[in-house]
Amino acid sequence: MSVHVGRMSIVDFCCIRSGEVEFGKVGLVYVTGQNNDSDAASSNASGKSTIYKALTWCLFEECVDGDKADAVIRRGGKSAKVVLPLSRDGRDPMTIKRVRRKGSTKLTLMNAEGEPMAVSKAEAQAIIEDYVGLDFQTFRNTVLYGQNDRSRFADPNTTDGKRKEILRRLLKTTVYQDCLERAREWKASLAKDAAGRENEVGIARSRLSEYDLEAIQEKHDGWETDRQERVDGYLEDAKRHKALATSLKPDSERLDALVEERDAVSEGVQEWKGEGRREELREAMSEAASRRAELGSEVKAGERERARLEGEINRLSDGDCPVCKSPLDGEAPEAYKAGLREVLGSTIEVADANAKARTAAGLEFDGLNAELDHENILIREHTTGIAQVASFERAIASEESALEGVKVQVTHAIEKARGALGSIKDARAEVNPHVDSLATAAKRVEEVKAELEEAETKLAVIDGKAAEVEFWVRGFGSQGIPSLLLDSCMPFLTERSNHYLNTLADGDITVEFSTQRELKSGKGEMRDEIEMKWSAEGVDDATLSGGQLRKVSVAVDLALMDLAASREGEGVKLLALDEVLDGLDAEGRSRVLLLLRELRASRGTVFVTSHDAGLSENFERTINVVKTDGEAMVKETA
């Protein structure tokens, strides 16, 4: 269905003191201006764009340039007022009046009879957006092409989230968001109910665990098993101690044998009294050794004297004096040699006697040493015998102690066996402490089981409903119907954008819209991203000039308008373009004008602002905004 905008009245809004703009008359409308406050008297800053600003402010209390609150009141004015009539096929017409006074804005809706509607400001705004079928964001992207508007769909700086928000509002998928919120509320309510039921189940199970029949039965049986194990252990102890007492028999045969062997050795050990004799032998050996040494010295001295005498005799035999080596004549040398021979004979006799005496002393020493060795053997034999007797004494004492220990062990084993039999009797007399608790638990378990079964049945019903609600949460969520709608409009946007670019750029520029899905980090959910690609003169992702970007932006906005119309029927029968012709060469302007004529046929009324007064002949109507002394007036010329 078509929405028609009527004659808009402006009073003290921004720089416009007063004026009226007819939006309802079909045709191409050229908006120019004259700034008499400028020396050049150009249209710059004359207030042309303020017409569009007043339009969006009246409809949505929003301006493309961000002005709000008291900033819209003309300097020197007391209040800003804009009145705009609307009509829509199949619905009653209405009029919007928005007034801004210092510190507050008043919004009034009037019906066909001019009577104000009794609604709040928020309700009135909701009625406007429902009537027009657009909110501010979608309006600025489908009806209005604002100069230097950075929130446009095709602007490279527009975020993916902003683009999706524009499409959501344009496609009216906000209803799915409402459905999603309702589904989430239902889900939360069911979750709350489930939590309550789960709490009941938990309490029942907790109570059931308090009376865990199986556990108590296990305790009961475990206690009986433990008692039987203790009885069996005591019985085994009694048997073991009895067997030990029986096996421990005192054995005196080894003791008797040891005593007999000790006595035999004792008889063979005689008292030895040879210690004095060993001392006498040592002294005699010492004396013999001394004599042998002295005789040895005398023998060596005699041998030296004998050698000396024999040498002297030999020298005299040569006939020379052994001292001066002069020849010896006469009897004197012979007499001297004879004396030497006599002395030599005596020396030999004495030496021989000393040698015999030395040999005799050595034999005496050897005999004494042999006798001493014999004495040593006797003392060792005596000492060994004594040690053997002592060893037997120790063995006898150890054996006697062992026999006494065996008797003690036998007595101890008998006492242990009796103690074990007593423990068996005591254990069998004990009463199982779990008998009463087992009976009580059996009764309570049946009661709690019935409560648990009831709570689990209710919880299962809630879980079934929760599964159904989860289906709707997913269906109305970002990966459900909104995602499908987003996918479905991408080919349409691509086709319509390229349709307009074919006129604006002679097919040299093409765009393509698609959705890309990627996994959200750490959440396991998919996320849609709108991807916009373009090519210029056959080069993909080419860097576009400012003029080319403007053509793409206009083409995409027009495609969005077509998308809105395809969803709503005819849509708003108005298109407002701000300075879309400025900055273009002659060919570019001709292409835009050609497109404007095409759009006139589909949109009815097309407004275009421009600085170039020479373009007015291409339009059916002209609106001139004249600014003098800071105040602008709006006038329509033929």
Q: pLDDT digits over 281-319, tens only? A: 788 888 888 888 888 888 888 888 888 888 878 877 766
> What is the DSSP code string of 567-603?
HHSSEESEEEEESSSTT--HHHHHHHHHHHHHHHHHH
Q: What share of the chain has pLDDT > 70, as a percent? A: 92
> What is the DSSP code string of 396-409?
HHHHHHHHHHHHHH
Contact (CB, 8 A) for 605 and 26:
yes
Flag whether pLDDT at 268 surpasses 90: no
In this predicted model, which residue has the larger pLDDT, 588 or 114?
A: 114
Res. 481 pLDDT band, cuts 50 70 90: confident
Contact (CB, 8 A) for 518 and 531:
no
pLDDT (average), residues 567-583:
78
Rounded-to-integer distance, Cα 484 and Cα 503, Å: 30
Tokens matching residue 517:
């899905």
Res. 257 pLDDT band, cuts 50 70 90: confident
Q: Which residues contact 365 (CB under 8 A, 6 or more apart)?
A: 285, 288, 289, 292
In this predicted model, which residue has the larger pLDDT, 263 or 93?
A: 93
pLDDT digits (tens, 9 = 90+) for 515-551: 876 655 555 556 678 888 989 988 888 888 888 888 8
Rama region for 507: left / alpha / beta (φ>0; ψ in -120 to 50; rest): left
The closest alpha carbon to 624, from 85, 29, 151, belongs to 29
pLDDT digits (tens, 9 = 90+) for 484-522: 888 888 899 999 899 988 988 888 899 999 987 665 555
pLDDT at 82: 97
Q: Which residues contact 142 (CB under 8 A, 6 or more apart)?
A: 134, 170, 557, 560, 561, 563, 564, 571, 572
* Distance, C-alpha 235 to centroid of its chain: 59
pLDDT (average), residues 168-191:
81
Beta strands 509-519 and 526-536, pairing class: antiparallel
Helix, strand, coil abundance in the chain, percent, nearest 5: 60, 20, 20
Flag whether pLDDT at 40 surpasses 70: no
What is each CA distance from 75 to 70, 632, 635, in whole angstroms? 10, 11, 21
pTM assigned to the model: 0.55
Strand partners for 606? 28, 575
- Quick one: three-class SS letters along 535-577? EECCEECCCCCHHHHHHHHHHHHHHHHHHHHHHHCCEECEEEE
The one-letter code for the residue type at 265 is: V
Rounded-to-integer distance, Cα 394 and Cα 362, Å: 48
Please name each of the domains of the chain with its CATH number: 2-147+478-637 (3.40.50.300), 252-412 (1.10.287.510)
pLDDT at 126: 94
3-state DSSP call for residue 530?
A: strand
pLDDT at 318: 66
Compute the Cα dihedral for 342, 347, 350, 356 and give only its sign.
negative
Res. 407 pLDDT band, cuts 50 70 90: confident
pLDDT at 338: 84
Average pLDDT, the chain: 84
pLDDT digits (tens, 9 = 90+) for 424-475: 889 888 888 888 888 888 888 888 888 888 888 888 888 888 888 888 888 8
pLDDT at 485: 82
Helices 50-60 and 121-132, interaxial angle, to 10°? 120
pLDDT at 549: 85
pLDDT at 147: 60
Flag whether pLDDT at 202 surpasses 70: yes
pLDDT at 128: 95
pLDDT at 524: 54
Rounded-to-integer distance, Cα 418 and Cα 314, Å: 116
pLDDT at 626: 92
Tokens matching residue 427:
């254990």
How many other C-beta atoms lie within 10 A of the C-beta of residue 116?
12
pLDDT digits (tens, 9 = 90+) for 7-36: 999 999 999 999 999 998 889 999 998 898
pLDDT at 525: 59
Flag whether pLDDT at 392 surpasses 80: no
What is the DSSP secondary structure assignment for residue 103, as one 8-state letter?
Answer: T
Residue environment code for 294-328, b if the CB has 16+ CB neighbours within 10 A, otherwise e: ebeebbeebeebbeebeebbeebeeeeeeeeeeee
pLDDT digits (tens, 9 = 90+) for 150-170: 667 888 888 888 888 888 777
